[in-house]
Structure 1
Amino acid sequence: MATIEPGTERSTVLPGAPPYTVDDLLKFPDDGNRYELFNGSLLVSPAPLPLHQRICFRLQVILTDAAPPELEPLATVNLRVTDRDFYIPDLVVVPTNLVESVGLMFSPEHMLLAVEVGSPSTNVRDRILKTEAYAEAGIPLYWRIEPDEGPALYVYELDGDSYDPPAVFKAGAVATPPAPFPVSFDPAELVRRR
């Protein structure tokens, strides 16, 4: 365990004051943290763990291989929902024709699928807050991957203005989750070594 000598602590001074807006967020320093907004409240996450990155990469490859040319999986994009709601999903599927033209931020209507990979610092946020926020934003599909469960894939489908209870796909069996295009994989593939 690293120790910090008194007087050597570093702190980040953030511009603006709560409640924050997306414009405030754009002025934040690039300090390695992931900054998101929920109704103007700041959500801060550290850089993801290596297992988290492996899962995101493997899922992006699986989705890319299955996607038709008009759809494209992308990692960690900016999603502006409102002036005070801003998220960075771990993975999304969007129309390919938007990739070169969208600019800095996507809108909810661009999202066909949003994916979050659970981690100790974001579990509650991904299970509750983002499930509600993505449904309210009208994102038709939300996948949540829980690494500690084998991993397990939780699939939420939009029904009106909320998600139905999730379908759960466990490691060790081939999952055929609802997606913007046909795809099938064993969730265990997401954590296997190369």
Structure 2
Amino acid sequence: MATIEPASSGRTVLPGNPPYTVDDLLKFPDDGNRYELFNGSLLVSPAPTPPHQRIIYRLQRILDDAMPSELEPLSTINLRVTDKNFYIPDLVVVPEDSVESVGLMFSPRDILLAVEVGSPSTTWQDKSLKTIAYASAGIPHYWRIETDEGPALYVYQLSGDNYESPTAYKAGTLAELTAPFPVSFDPADLLLRR
């Protein structure tokens, strides 16, 4: 059994042994951590901070207002790619009809756009691992938001089996995007207070 030392007091003992599978994750305790898998290796991150949640919420509203009615934005869904690859994107856009039929986990074919909001504990994963993982899974669009850059929006588009180099939109500039549907916003708006 693996042992994880959480930020809070005490120890969390996780069932199973590496390499982990999605079935192993389903047996993990609900201890406030977010568990993901990359080739059976465990990725552990704490619950999102309030500024992180604000960005997700603001972007979800922007996307919901701009997208066609047959699409829907959802936050923190379960994404099963393979038995040893499982992710929890901060935000996704899916066809509305898949929401009713999906059950516990979405598959990559359901995802039109995956979004990750960087935080100190996940920036490296979002820049490298998630970029590779989402491209390998065939997710056509990936957006990465870096909070420590004002925030900045990095937009990736799938070309074959890999994403093209990202287009960066810094705070104070208008990101005018056409895919997966037309939407325009300033990344700085993602941190605005009500």
TM-score of the aligned structures, taking structure 1 as reference length: 0.95
Alignment-mate amino acid for residue 137 of structure 2:
A
> What CA RMSD, in Å, does the superposition of the two structures yield over aligned residues?
1.0
> Does structure 1 residue 142 correspond to structure 2 residue 142?
yes
Q: For 1:181 and 1:74, how far apart are their aligned partners in 2?
A: 16
Partner in structure 2 of residue 154 of structure 1: 154
Q: Give the counterpart letter for 1:22 in structure 2.
A: V
Greater share of residues in strand: 2
Length, aligned pairs only: 187
Residue in structure 2 matched with residue 112 of structure 1 by the alignment: 112
Deviation of the 1:177 alpha carbon: 2.5
1:5 paired residue number: none
The answer for the alignment partner of 2:186 in structure 1 is 186
Q: Is the contact between residue 21 and residue 83 of structure 1 (CA under 8 Å) also seen in structure 2?
A: yes
Structure 2 distance, partners of 1:177, 1:57, is 19
Q: Deviations over 1:124-147 (max 9, x none)?
A: 000000000100000000000001
Question: In the alignment, which residue of structure 1 is the partner of 2:3?
Answer: none
* 1:113–1:179 Cα contact (<8 Å) kept: no
For 1:9 and 1:156, the matched residues in 2 are separated by 39
Runs of 4+ that moved beyond 6 A: none
Distance between the aligned counterparts of 1:102 and 1:51, measured in 2? 29
* Whole-angstrom distance in 2 between the partners of 1:70 and 1:148: 34
Does 2:54 match 1:23?
no
| Shift, 1:180, TM fit | 1.6
Q: Deviations over 1:47-106 (max 9, x none)?
A: 111110000000000000111110000000000000000000000000000111100000
Partners of 1:107 and 1:41 lie apart in 2 by 19
Deviation at 1:178, TM superposition (A): 4.0
**SS state of the match for residue 134, structure 2?**
helix
Which residue of structure 1 aligns with residue 173 of structure 2?
173
Aligned with 1:176: secondary structure?
A: strand
Match of 1:95 in 2: 95
Structure 2 counterparts to residues 29-68 of structure 1, below 5 A: 29-68=29-68
Q: How far did residue 192 of structure 1 move?
A: 1.1
Gaps of 5+ in 1: 1-7
Q: Quote the Cα distance in structure 2 between the aligned partners of 1:118 and 1:144.
A: 7
| Preserved contact between residue 155 and residue 178 of structure 1 (Cα < 8 Å) | no
Between the aligned partners of 1:9 and 1:77, the Cα distance in structure 2 is 28
What is the letter of the counterpart of residue 189 of structure 1? Answer: D
Deviations 1:23-69 (CA, angstroms, capped at 9, x unpaired):
00001011100000000000000011111000000000000011111
Distance 2:26 2:35 in 1: 10
With normalisation by structure 2, the TM-score equals 0.95
CA distance in 2, matches of 1:180, 1:76: 19
